[in-house]
Structures are given as C-alpha cells and as structure tokens.
Structure 1
C-alpha cells in the first residue's frame, strides 16, 4: 500500500508542476499580433475549364 501512495503522490506532483507551468505561461507571456498575407496563385482561384 505505501508504494501505491508514493506512486499517486509522484503523479500528483508531476500534474501540479505541469499545471503550474501552464498557469505561468498564461500569466506572464503576452502574444504579439502581426499581419499575415498569403499569396494564392490565380490558377487556383479561377481555374480554366
């Protein structure tokens, strides 16, 4: 039984670390906005029959 508790404790610590890292990313990282342009060849827009 002690090995089961140890396993659950290790899994909870790993999950807590991952959750904490995700919260830190959401809190401290600010995404930058930029304009995106994609060129589409005219052959794909107006296909010839």
Structure 2
C-alpha cells in the first residue's frame, strides 16, 4: 500500500506541475499578432472551363465513357 500512495503522490505532483506550467503560460504570455499573406496559384482560383475537360480524352470521365462504348482500335 505505501508504494501505491507514493506512486499516486508522484503522479499528482507531475499533474500539478503540468497544470501550473500551462496556467502560467496562458496567463503571462501574450501572442504577437502580425499580418499574414498567402499566395494562391491562379489555377486554383479560375479552373479550366468544363467544355475543355469534356473534349480531352485523357480525363477520368472519358475513360468510363470509352469503356462503355467498347475497345478502341489502335
């Protein structure tokens, strides 16, 4: 039984130390705010039109349509 109480006391002391550290960081440290700029590629802002994708035989949808039609001669 003494070893159990010693173990629980050590765990309680560690938990108290962690709690005290977190509390002091949250109370005494203030974050510095600053302006942030993120560059977004233009391809993500304006995707290609849907008609161009339908004409392209290499798109994912074209493979399903070609499989439904049958094998293509080469």
Number of residues paired by the alignment?
A: 49
Structure 2: which 5+ runs fail to align?
A: 50-74
Structure ID, larger Rg = 2
Question: 4+ runs of 1 displaced by more than 3 Å?
Answer: none
Structure 1: which 5+ runs fail to align?
A: none
TM-score when normalising by structure 2: 0.63
Of structures 1 and 2, the one scoring higher in RCO (CA 8 A, sep 6+) is 2
**Coordinate RMSD, CA, aligned:** 0.7
